[in-house]
Copies of this chain bind each other. A is one copy, B any other.
């Protein structure tokens, strides 16, 4: 039985317009799931450039290893993306590399491109050999079904424990030429169980060299996907890819600092942030969306560590689930972060209301409005640690019985 849709899911799904130079197809290849699609094939126009950001896990999956290598060897050129759900092809030894090789070879032949122009991702159970013959058998059938208007199907095909598909889109201009940015993602938990890798693919018809794309993606990722957490666990397969098909005929851009890129950068950042938020809101068992802003830290890096110390604290997350304005746990989480904080200048606000100031509870503290805020779906926590100008915002969800239910009996 499918789990109920997250209470934090959006009311409607973003409609993604067709994007010049991208065609999509999905297929039910029967890797694990019955009666649903589990394979996505995306074909990109010749001349497409790419950039990637991958898991930092040292036990990264065979598909991640391949993408890293292909991006470098092929100098950031891309023609195809193949994603399967149901099996992560991680921790599968040499057989994992062989499965990737077979998939890449088949796709390259079908599309008519180099193997280094084919990117692959797998998401699902860890440690189970990938029956890649099902993928290589499905690809010829997928390739004849490629079409421009299949974004929702694409977002659905890559889902695992996700309770809703995740899509985001922006129209921007480079110079006076309109450009589209479309993104899809999956993940139910920053990374939650073996079935909930975070995958995100963003496509644009802009014409941008691979090094410029990589800089835009690395920077944009820092304040979006690298600013969210559901349970502090990092998948072996996390992958974020950005493809630019080069169909939009705007002025030539060779430098990421080109002022003509401003709107594009903002649009890309917005798509990344929207997708990242959609992932958190589908966090396993989530009932609250939590924004944590840390100010006054010694540096932005210090602020990030403190924000994540709060965002990953099981005590904070259970208190939020219990709608308990338990700010003592915020103090605890700030203290354990290991970053400089002035205890006697520490200030904490919940829902915009001061609860603690200069290292102690505010005089005549009235918890009523704070408790009211805690009953809402969107929780805001602000902390000023009083030592500098470092600032960071992180997003997370609460820790509920739902998380235990989903993860305590996931495979059975």
What is the interface of chain A, defined by CB distance below 8 A to chain B?
Answer: 55-60, 88, 90-93, 95, 125-128, 191-194, 231-236, 312-315, 318-319, 321-322, 324, 326-329, 331-341, 343-344, 346, 356, 358-361, 399-401, 403-404, 407-412
Contact = CB atoms under 8 A, between A and B. Distances in A.
Contact of A339 (B58, B126, B333, B358): B58
Contacts of A360: 91-93, 95, 127
A154 to B, nearest CB: 26
Nearest to A365: B127
A324 B338 CA distance: 34
Given A235-B332, A324-B409, A400-B404, 10 more contacts: A92-B360, A127-B356, A193-B315, A233-B333, A314-B314, A314-B403, A319-B408, A319-B410, A322-B408, A401-B404
A322 B410 contact: yes
Copies in the complex: 2
A346 B319 CA distance: 37
B58 A332 contact: no
Query: Which residue, A60, A92, A341, A361, has most C-beta atoms of chain B within 10 A?
Result: A361
A314 B231 contact: yes
B233 A313 contact: yes
Nearest to A321: B408
Given A127-B328, A194-B329, A343 B59 contact: yes
A206 to B, nearest CB: 34
Contacts of A92: 360
B336 A57 contact: yes
A324 B91 contact: no
B410 A399 contact: no
A324 B412 contact: yes
A235 to B, nearest CB: 6
A245 to B, nearest CB: 33
7 contacts: A91-B328, A126-B328, A194-B326, A232-B314, A326-B411, A400-B404, A400-B408
Contact of A58 (B56, B91, B335, B356): B335
Contacts of A404: 318, 321, 399-401, 404
Nearest to A191: B332
Contact of A335 (B236, B335, B407): B236
B331 A127 contact: yes
Contact of A407 (B314, B338, B340): B314
Given A233-B313, A234-B336, A328-B126, A407 B343 contact: no
B93 A329 contact: no
A56 B333 CA distance: 12
B324 A58 contact: no
Contacts of A356: 91, 127
Contacts of A93: 344, 358-360
Contact of A361 (B57, B127, B329): B127
Contacts of A91: 328, 331, 343, 346, 356, 359-361
Contacts of A56: 336, 338
A377 to B, nearest CB: 16
Contacts of A192: 315
Nearest to A325: B411
A93 B358 CA distance: 8
A231 B315 contact: yes
Nearest to A342: B58
B341 A59 contact: yes
A69 to B, nearest CB: 15
Nearest to A358: B93
Contacts of A331: 59, 90-91, 126-127, 236
A85 to B, nearest CB: 15
